[in-house]
């Protein structure tokens, strides 16, 4: 039996050739599609052109425009800069295999209005796979998770899970406007909601 964590995606081509193909989780998404296509070419010649067509259609979805995304400086550099200028820090914990992280980046974090608000923050993207020590330090168990810190490094609030644009905008305003000093997040959201 193949462990769940060792499977990226399982592509079942039962109707055409009765084969089940899977790629290990260590493979990036594009490499996994190439893996599937190669196996389909070898085993299911009728299906291979359709798999290639799907790959070509999905490839542009994996590309992002650098001008409409948030930059992620390194953790230590952001904390050092925050201590100097007093801007709050947003730690964005994500995982390579997290569909909600991808959705968060494509939808919420690429919104022009949110990008403008985030200009007043030091934004740090922390990959779960490459930064186990930080994940443990902030007790992150769900992806995506956002931690907001004062310029001094003091923790303000943690919010786990995908957050839609309007709610995320209010969350940023809560931190940026120092509302956390007079009320908790729930009270603020209820009052402004």
- What domains are there in the chain, each with its CATH number? 4-62 (no CATH), 66-192 (3.40.30.10)
3-state helix, strand, coil in the chain (%, to 5): 50, 15, 35
The single residue listed with the structure tokens 């919420």 is 108
Whether residue 11 has pLDDT greater than 50: no
Instruction: Give the pLDDT score at 138.
Output: 94
- Per-residue pLDDT tens over the stretch 67-95: 344 545 588 899 999 999 999 999 999 99
Higher pLDDT, 125 or 26: 125
CA distance 55 to 25: 18
pLDDT number for residue 74? 85
Over 60: is that where the pLDDT of 27 sits? no
Task: Please list the residues that pair with 148 across neighbouring strands.
Answer: 90, 157
- Which stretch, 44-53, 58-67, 95-104, has highest mean pLDDT? 95-104
% of the chain exceeding 70 in pLDDT: 62
Contacts of 37 (CB under 8 A, 6+ apart): 48, 51, 52, 55
**Is there a contact between 46 and 16 (Cβ–Cβ < 8 Å)?**
yes
Per-residue confidence (pLDDT) for residue 161, from 0 to 100: 96
Q: Give the chain's mean pLDDT.
A: 76
Backbone angles phi, psi at 26, to 5 degrees: -75, -10
Q: Is the pLDDT of residue 51 over 90?
A: no
**CB-CB contact of 58 with 123 (8 Å):** no
List helix spans (H) across 47-184.
48-58, 75-85, 99-103, 112-118, 132-137, 165-176
Overall pTM > 0.75: no
pLDDT digits 0-9 by tens, 109-166? 999 999 999 999 999 999 999 888 899 999 999 999 999 999 888 999 999 999 999 9
């Amino acid at each position: 039996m193949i462990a769940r964590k060792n499977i990226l995606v399982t592509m079942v081509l039962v109707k055409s050739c009765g084969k089940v193909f899977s790629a290990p989780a260590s493979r990036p998404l594009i490499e996994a599609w190439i893996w599937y296509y190669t196996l389909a070419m070898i085993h299911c010649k009728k299906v291979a052109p359709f798999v290639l067509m799907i790959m070509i259609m999905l490839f542009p979805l994996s590309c992002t425009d650098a001008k409409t995304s948030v930059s992620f400086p390194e953790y230590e550099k952001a904390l050092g800069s925050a201590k100097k200028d007093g801007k709050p820090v947003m730690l964005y914990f994500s995982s390579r295999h997290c569909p909600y992280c991808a959705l968060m980046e494509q939808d919420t974090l690429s919104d022009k209005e949110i990008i403008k608000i985030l200009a007043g923050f030091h934004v740090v993207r922390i990959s779960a796979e490459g930064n186990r020590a930080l994940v443990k330090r902030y007790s992150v168990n769900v992806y995506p998770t956002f931690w907001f810190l004062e310029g001094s490094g003091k923790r303000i609030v943690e919010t786990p899970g995908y957050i839609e644009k309007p709610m995320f905008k209010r969350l940023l305003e809560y931190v940026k406007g120092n509302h956390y000093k007079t009320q908790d997040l729930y009270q603020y959201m209820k009052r402004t909601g």
